[in-house]
Amino acid sequence: MRPQIAAANWKMNLTLPQAEALLDALLATSRTTAPHQQVILAMPFPYLPLAISRTAGQSHISIAAQNCHHKPSGAYTGEVSAPMLASLGITHILIGHSERREYFLEDDVLLAAKLDIALEHGLTPVFCCGEPLRVREAGTHDAFVATQLRNSLFHLPPERLAGLLIAYEPIWAIGTGRTATAEQAQEMHAGLRSVIARHAGDTLAATIPILYGGSVKGSNAGELFSKPDVDGGLVGGASLDAVDFGRIVGALKQA
């Protein structure tokens, strides 16, 4: 079975004492019950070393950064590089979150370069894609998201593609309380899998976990995760509540 993953995205939230308290609480609530179930915690840069040391020995938990620069080093004041993150022991990284695309003008070409540098330094990218409301309303969401994949991922050789996680996050569902229905999520995930299959073959496409993101909560995770192509969730707001996130972890497929 594909890995089933509950990924937390803290975004730009919490002070250090709050982050420490939430980490401790999450360690207590985020219990997995099978080896294919995994937890990823994506947090602000300053808290990464703390998270790495607090979660040491918890093999079901991985720590992720939320971004990196596309160059390995140099005169880029204020930026953080993939080799820096790898040297901390970070294993995963979010790439292409819609907030990065929208507020920091990250386009498909830049995201392809970020994917390359992340993979080169042994980080597993969680590649985020998803359409805005106007595209969903126009009914062109399948083509829109397929293009995001093609433009940022399909230069990769199949063995590198195989190391990715994908998160489908319709922008109209992020932080809005308006979740895609489980049917809408399943339809898009199955569509993405067939786009990947056409490019890299059915076997490879079948191995890539595709997470759903956008107002996932303890109360809706079970229904979303019950769909065959929904391999867990990327969770913003609800990941700041350890009890609710624990329910989301508990909703991951058992087998």
Query: Does residue number 169 form part of the binding site for ligand PGA (CB under 6 A)?
Result: yes
Residue at 17: amino acid letter? P
Q: Is 69 one of the annotated active-site residues of the chain?
A: no
Q: Is 99 one of the annotated active-site residues of the chain?
A: no
With a CB cutoff of 8 Å and minimum separation 6, the contacts of 60 are 32, 35, 37, 38, 39
Q: Is 62 exposed, middle or buried (0-12, 13-18, 19+ CB in 10 A)?
A: buried
Please pick, among 97, 121, 141, 189, the residue that the annotation labels catalytic.
97
Q: Which residue has the tokens 């199949």?
A: 158
Residue at 199: amino acid letter? H
Sign of CA dihedral 208, 212, 217, 222: negative
The single residue among 49, 158, 175, 228 that binds ligand PGA, judged by CB under 6 A, is: 175
Query: Does residue number 235 form part of the binding site for ligand PGA (CB under 6 A)?
Result: yes
Choose between 96 and 214: whose C-beta lies nearer to ligand PGA: 214
Q: How far is the CB of 128 from ligand PGA (least distance, A)?
A: 7
Query: Does residue number 132 form part of the binding site for ligand PGA (CB under 6 A)?
Result: no
Q: Is 203 exposed, middle or buried (0-12, 13-18, 19+ CB in 10 A)?
A: exposed
Choose between 51 and 170: whose C-beta lies nearer to ligand PGA: 170
Choose between 101 and 193: whose C-beta lies nearer to ligand PGA: 101
- Tell me the residue number closest to ligand PGA, measured at CB: 236
The interface mask with ligand PGA, positions 215-234, x = CB under 6 A, is xx-----------------x
Query: Does residue number 214 form part of the binding site for ligand PGA (CB under 6 A)?
Result: yes
Please pick, among 60, 99, 169, 189, the residue that the annotation labels catalytic.
169
Q: How far is the CB of 215 from ligand PGA (least distance, A)?
A: 4
DSSP 80-139: --HHHHHHHT--EEEES-HHHHHHS---HHHHHHHHHHHHHTT-EEEEEE---HHHHHHT
How many residues contact ligand PGA, by CB under 6 A? 13
Q: 7: part of which helix (H) or strand (E)? A: strand 4-9
Q: How far is the CB of 186 from ligand PGA (least distance, A)?
A: 18
Side-chain-facing half-sphere of 245: CA atoms under 13 Å: 29
User: What distance in Å separates the CA atoms of residue 105 and residue 68, rounded to the nearest whole number?
Assistant: 14
Q: How far is the CB of 167 from ligand PGA (least distance, A)?
A: 7
Residues taking part in catalysis? 97, 169
In the complex, which residues of this chain contact ligand PGA (CB under 6 A)? 9, 169, 174-175, 213-216, 234-238
